[in-house]
Amino acid sequence: MTELFSENNRSGLTRDLIQALFPMFEEASAGAIAVDRESRITWINSSYAHLLGLGNPETVIGKPIRQVIPQTRMPEVVETGKPLLLDIMEHNKQQLVVTRLPFYDDDGQIMGAVAFVLYDDLQPLTPLVAKYRRLHQDLAAARKALAKKTRGTRYNLADFVGASPAALEVKRRARLAAGRDMPILIRGETGTGKEVLAQAIHAMSGRAHQPFVGVNLAAVPENLLEAEFFGVAPGAYTGADKRTRQGKFQLANGGSLFLDEVGDMPLALQAKLLRALQEGEVEPLGSNSVTAVDVRVIAATSRNLEAMIAEGSFRSDLYYRLNVMEITIPPLRERLPDLGVLCEDILENNGQGPEVRREITDAGVAALGSYDWPGNVRELRNVLERALTMGEDGGQLDANAIFRVLPRGGSRPDPLLVLRPVKSLAKTLANAEAQAIEEALVASRGNRTRAARMLGISRSVFYEKLARMS
C-alpha cells in the first residue's frame, strides 16, 4: 500500500507520517477497501471481507465495487477526487459509518480511492446522534417561532374542532368575519376556543401575512397597560429606555390586534383605546406626536359586557365600536355531540407518536357527556390527559377510565341515569301503569273490584287497562 498516498507535492515527511498511520487506521477500523480509477476493487482487508460475508476475499478483486457493495459512493470519490469524510452507508440492513479518501500518483493524477468502515454499528455515535437530534429539534422550534413571529398565528380554522350545528355556525361566521375588515367580538366561556378562533380569523383574512399581536388585559398590571398598548417615547420618564418602545398597536400595524379579556380593561384605558380606534392613531407615552396605525381589532371576553355597561364599568361607546360583528361560541355542555370529534382530535395530537395512540370507546364518550364542563374544551383536554396517565398502557379509554378522572360533584347528574338507555315517555308510563295494576291485584288477592278501588279508578277503566296489558 506504499504508493497509496503519494502525491507530487506532498513532502516526504507527510508521506511517512501517513504511511505510519495507515496500518493503525486499518487495524482500528472495522474494515478497509481500495479501488482503482475505474472503481474496481484492488484490495480488501480480511475484516471487511468478513463484515460483507465474503468467503474468499480474492474472488472480489478486479470486480466493480458496485457489484459487491451496491450502496457504495466510491465511484463518486474517484470521479470528483473529493473525499467523503463521514457517511452512513446501509449494507444488508446494517448501518456502517464510513470514510472515503481519493489517492493520487506522483503526477497528481487520481489513481483510486480507499475507504474505512469506522463503525459497524451506531452505538459509539449515540451521544453524537442525540446531540444532532437535539439540535434538529431546536432548529424546528426556532423555525416555528420565527414563522409565528412573521405570520403571527398558530391556529387556523381546522384547529377549531366541532361538527355540531352550533360549531358549524361558529365556523361559518368566522369565515364571514375573515372576509370583511371589521372589528369582531368573540364571546364564550373560559376554554371554549376564543383564542383559537381569533387566530383562525386572522389567518383567513387579507391580513394573514401581517402580524397578529395579542394582549391579555387580565394579565398585564393596570399601571403598565398604557405603555403596553401605545408604547413609550425615549426618555419619557426617569429610567425609561433611550429608544422608543413600541406598543402593541405599532407592532400590530397592518395586521390584527387581539384584545383578550377585553372586559378587564380599566375605564381610563377604555377611553384612550376608543380614541385610538376612532382616529386610527396612537400617542406613545411621554411623546407629543402621534403615529398613524392600521389594525383590525378582534376582541374576546367571557364577561357579560351588557351587565358591565349597566353598572358603569364598561363604556357603551367602546362596546359598539368593538362589537360590529359578534361571534358567540356555545359552551361545550350545549354541544355535547362534538365530544366524539374533540376526543379524537385531542387523543391524536397528545404529543405521543402513532404507535402509542390511544382511543376512547363509545361508552367512554357517553361518560364524558354526563359532566357539565365548566372549563369547556380546555378542561376536556386535561381530563383526557389525566385518563391517559392513570389508565393502563395501551388500553382503550372506557367509561370506567373516564369516571375515575372526572371531577365529582357540581351539577353532574348521576352517570348511571345518563347511561341507562332512554325509553319513550309513553313506554315508561305504560310500564309504570302495568306495575301498579299488578301490585293492586296482588294486594287484593285477585279481587278486581277492590284492586280498581285501591288504584282510584272505575271498574270499567280497570278492565280496559287490564285488556290492553294482556
Ligand X SMILES: Nc1ncnc2c1ncn2[C@@H]1O[C@H](COP(=O)(O)OP(=O)(O)OP(=O)(O)O)[C@@H](O)[C@H]1O
CA dihedral 410, 416, 422, 428 (to 10 degrees): -100
Query: Quick one: which segment of 47-55, 191-199, 271-279, 414-422 binds Mg ion (CB under 5 A)?
Result: 191-199
Q: Does 161 sit near ligand X (CB under 6 A)?
A: yes
Residue 87 interacts, among Mg ion, ligand X, none and using kind-specific CB cut-offs from 5 to 8 Å, with none
Contact between 162 and ligand X by CB under 6 A: the answer reads yes
CA torsion angle 89 92 94 96 (round to 10): -30
- Window 26-45: contact mask with Mg ion (x via CB under 5 A): --------------------
Answer for which of 19, 99, 164, 190 binds ligand X (CB under 6 A) is 190
The yes or no reply on residue 191 touching ligand X (CB under 6 A) is: yes
Burial of 316-329, coded b for 16+ CB within 10 Å and e otherwise, reads: eebbebbbebebeb
Beta-carbon contacts of residue 107 (< 8 Å; ≥ 6 apart): 8
Residue span 309-348 as binding mask against ligand X, x where in contact by CB under 6 A, dash where not: ------------------------------------x---
Q: Which string of b and e fits 233-245 if b means at least 16 CB within 10 Å?
A: beebeeebeeebb
* CA distances to 108, 251, 278 from 286, in Å: 73, 18, 21
Is 338 among the residues that bind Mg ion (CB under 5 A)?
no
Select 33 or 339, whichever has its Cβ closest to ligand X: 339
153 binds ligand X, rule: CB under 6 A: no
Q: Tell me how far, at minimum, the Cβ of 140 lies from ligand X, in Å.
A: 20
CB neighbourhood size of 44 (10 A): 22
Toward ligand X, which CB reaches closer, 100 or 381? 381
CB closer to Mg ion out of 31 and 193: 193
Residue 344 binds: one of ligand X, Mg ion, none (C-beta under 5 to 8 A by kind): none
Does the footprint of ligand X cover residue 373 (CB under 6 A)?
no
Helix axes 448-455, 425-443, angle to 10 degrees: 130
Q: In the set 31, 152, 193, 331, which binds ligand X (CB under 6 A)?
A: 193
Establish if 226 lies at the interface with Mg ion (CB under 5 A): no
Beta bridge partners of 99: 116
Residue 254's SS3 state is coil
| Residue 195 found at the interface with Mg ion (CB under 5 A) | yes
Q: Which of 100, 103, 86, 82 is nearest to 37 (CA)?
A: 103
- Alpha-carbon span 169 to 330, nearest angstrom: 10
| Site stretch for ligand X (CB under 6 A), options 129-137, 160-168, 277-285, 438-446 | 160-168
Q: Which of 7, 120, 195, 283 touches ligand X (CB under 6 A)? A: 195
What CA–CA distance (Å, rounded) separates 72 from 96? 11
SS3 256: strand
Q: Tell me how far the alpha carbon of residue 306 is from its chain's centroid.
A: 35
Instruction: Compare residues 341 and 454 and give the one whose CB is closer to ligand X.
Output: 341
State the minimum distance, in angstroms, from the CB of residue 210 to ligand X: 21
Choose between 193 and 231: whose C-beta lies nearer to ligand X: 193
**Burial environment of residue 425 by CB neighbours within 10 A (0 to 12, 13 to 18, 19 or more):** exposed
Position 302 contacts ligand X (CB under 6 A): yes
Give residues in contact with ligand X (CB under 6 A): 159-162, 188, 190-196, 302, 345, 377-378, 381
Give residues in contact with Mg ion (CB under 5 A): 195
